[in-house]
Chain A
Amino acid sequence: MTNPSNNKEETFSYQQNDSSVEQKNFDEVLHKLLIIGLALSVILMVFGLILALVKHEPVPSTIPSLKVIFSQVLSLQASGFLVLGILTLIATPILRVISSVIAFLLEKDWRFAGITFVVLLTVIASILTGSH
């Protein structure tokens, strides 16, 4: 599994220092984002479950519109929190891609800003696709 860098057949050089430090910093941003997304969705879902148990409210079978969800959250209805937790989970990878685009633009890494932007466009296209 280890490829020694003096292997004559594959003379690739792995870039150390600058780009690998950048990579590690970037990975740290991704790391924090995933943890935040995870924590947020778990807290919302668990809180929703507690509310449902305590207030004897049922867990919904479908996901209502965003308007309804927010009004449910504001009136402390379990359903709102449960559904918001699920939506937060779905949103996390998407937010990850958006943050990547921004982070690469800030780093002036145009190549990867472009790459992640294409991914973002595809996700947006899928969100806009009504028919299936």
Chain B
Amino acid sequence: MASSLLIFGISIAIGVLGSMLGIGGGVFLIPMLSGVVGLPIKTAIGASIISVIATSTAAGAVYIGKGITHSRLAMILEIATTLGALAGGITAVLINPNILEGVFALVLLYVAYTMAFGFKKKLKTDKASFLANSYVDPMTGETVDYGVRNISAGMAASFVAGNVSGLLGIGGGVIKVPVMNLIMGIPLRAAIATSNFMIGITAATSAVIYYRHGYIDPVIVIPTALGVLIGAQVGSRLGGKVHSENLKKIFSVVMVIFSVIMAVKAFNGS
């Protein structure tokens, strides 16, 4: 009972942070459940994938309600991300997970640096004007118009994000948000909301496979899911009150932490 309450409490916090940043929280939940609470990795992954769906659904309802999510762009990118999630399972068998984790750690570090300190390169612009959109910033009340660029790069990145999701049991938001913001030219709030929307179906694609293989343990999943659902209600609203620049910084810190966790995992061979 005590450990269930602990898991519930941690999940609320993860739900808040994850939904604020457009990620599912799996990047924290898995190390927390397997490393700190000491659960078997399969159980941690199963709980994580469900929590990603929970965040996506709960925060998604808020973000869509506020008109910040670019649902059409999400649906296009979902083609790539669900294919990636499906392939993720197949890839997992073929490639040494340690190599994957190591590479992933490096990629995350690079992206964290880019998010924190900006891009030097001038990007190509292949515009997709039919995807132009706008939203009302919850903090300033201004309407922000934006266009979407580099869809092909976005698709490729979404595929990778889906792959990673299927492999590691996370949502893939850690890749989606930076790619949408830095490469596709989408303002951070919209990128967060759109990523949050996408991770639901990405995780569901993997969840059905994990469910089939007995990864889902209700004893862990129930407190996790309920905690995350509560946290996501708070985080999706709280995020709107935080300045985008600060969200970026928090995001970079999260990525660095996660890349360190990944690097440690890669070296330990677990």
Please give the residue numbers on chain A whose beta carbons come within 8 Å of chain B beta carbons, in ascending order.
Answer: 1-5, 10, 12-15, 23-24, 26-27, 30-31, 34-35, 37-38, 41-42, 45-46, 48-49, 59-63, 79, 82-83, 85-86, 89-94, 96-97, 100, 112, 115-116, 118-119, 122-123, 125-127, 129-130, 132
> Does B109 lie at the interface of the complex (its beta carbon under 8 Å from any beta carbon of A)?
no
**Does A116 contact B83, Cβ atoms closer than 8 Å?**
no
**Does A27 contact B67, Cβ atoms closer than 8 Å?**
yes
**Does A30 contact B64, Cβ atoms closer than 8 Å?**
yes
Interchain nearest-CB distance for A120 vs B (Å): 9
Known contacts A13-B129, A38-B229, A90-B211; A123 and B82 CB within 8 A of each other: yes
> Does B56 lie at the interface of the complex (its beta carbon under 8 Å from any beta carbon of A)?
yes
**Does B225 contact A118, Cβ atoms closer than 8 Å?**
no
Sample (22) of A-B pairs whose CB atoms are under 8 Å apart = A1-B146, A12-B132, A14-B129, A26-B71, A30-B71, A34-B60, A37-B57, A59-B218, A60-B218, A60-B219, A63-B214, A86-B50, A89-B50, A91-B204, A92-B53, A93-B201, A115-B79, A116-B75, A116-B78, A123-B208, A126-B82, A126-B208
Give the B interface residue count (CB, 8 A).
61
Across the interface, which residues of A come within 8 angstroms of B78, CB to CB? 97, 116, 119
Partner of A14, one of B57, B61, B145, B219: B145
**Does A129 contact B89, Cβ atoms closer than 8 Å?**
yes
* Bound complex: CA A14 to CA B128 (Å): 10
**Does B76 contact A115, Cβ atoms closer than 8 Å?**
yes
Across the interface, which residues of A come within 8 angstroms of B151, CB to CB? none
Q: Interface majority SS on B: helix, strand, loop or mixed?
A: helix
Across the interface, which residues of A come within 8 angstroms of B54, CB to CB? 89
**Does A127 contact B229, Cβ atoms closer than 8 Å?**
no
* Bound complex: CA A14 to CA B227 (Å): 39
Please give the residue numbers on chain B whose beta carbons come within 8 Å of chain A beta carbons, in ascending order.
Answer: 50, 53-54, 56-58, 60-61, 64-65, 67, 69, 71-72, 75-76, 78-79, 82-83, 85-86, 89, 93, 125, 127, 129-130, 132-134, 142, 144-147, 187-188, 200-201, 203-209, 211-214, 216-219, 221-222, 225-226, 229, 244
Of chain A, the residue at the smallest CB distance from B190 is A1
